[in-house]
Amino acid sequence: MDDTSDRRGGVRWHGTTIIGVSKNGKTVIAGDGQVTMGNTVMKPNARKVRRIGEGGPEKGKVIAGFAGATADAFTLFERLEKKLEQYSGQLLRAAVELAKDWRTDKYLRNLEALMIVADKDTMLVLTGNGDVLEPEGGIAAIGSGGNYALSAARALDAYEDDAETIARRAMEVAAEVCVFTNDRVTVETI
C-alpha cells in the first residue's frame, strides 16, 4: 500500500492534525481545516472538531476531533452520540462500547478514522483497533501532523498554564512542518 491508497485500493484522503490539551480544569480540542487527496488540497476549511450531542440530553458536553476519512468520522460521531444517550452521558463507558462495536462490527471495522473525545473530566483517543486510550499528561494528538503538535504541546506545557494557548501554538508548529496540515484551526473548549 502506498501513501495515497487505502487497504481497499481507493484513494485515501490523507492528513490532518488534531490535538487535545487538558490543563487547569480546561480541556481544548483543536484541529486544522485542510482536506487533501493525494498531493492536492481539496478543501482548506473543513470543520474536524465539534461538539457532540448538541441537540440531545447532553447538550454539547462532549467535544471531539477526527483524523481520517470524513464520512467515516461522521458515522463514528453519530454512533458516539447514540452511545452517550444510551449510557447517560458517561463518556468512558460510551467510548468503550463504541470501540467494541468499531472493532467487531463488519461494517464499522472498515471505517478509517481516529478520534480524540473529551468531556470536563476525561480525554480519550479512540481507534478502530478497539483502543480507548487516556493520554499521559493530558495531551493527545492524532493525524499526519500529530507528532509535531504533540511534541510542541509537551514542550510548552511546562511554561504555559492555558490549555487553549498550548493547543493553538502546537497547531501553528504542526502547520509549519506538516504539508498535510494548514493554519485554519477550529477550537472547541470544555
Q: What is the pLDDT of residues 98-108, one digit of tens each?
A: 988 888 876 77
Grid coordinates representing 86? Answer: 444510551
How distant is the alpha carbon of residue 62 from its chain centre? 12
Q: 144 phi and psi, to 5 degrees?
A: -65, -30
Measuring CA to CA, how many Å separate 86 from each of 89, 94, 157?
8, 8, 36
In this prediction, residue 55 carries a pLDDT of: 57
Distance, in Å, from the CA atom of 15 to the CA atom of 179, rounded to the nearest integer, reads 8
- CA 92, CA 149: separation in Å to the nearest integer? 24
Summarised one tens digit per residue, pLDDT across range 148-174 is: 999 999 999 999 999 999 999 999 999
pLDDT digits (tens, 9 = 90+) for 33-78: 988 887 888 888 989 999 986 555 556 799 999 988 777 888 888 8
What is the topology classification, in CATH, of domain 13-183? Answer: Glutamine Phosphoribosylpyrophosphate, subunit 1, domain 1 (3.60.20)
Residues forming the active site? 16
* φ/ψ (deg, to 5) at 101: -60, -45
User: Given this model, what pLDDT does residue 8 score?
Assistant: 44
Q: How many CB atoms lie within 10 A of CB 86?
A: 12
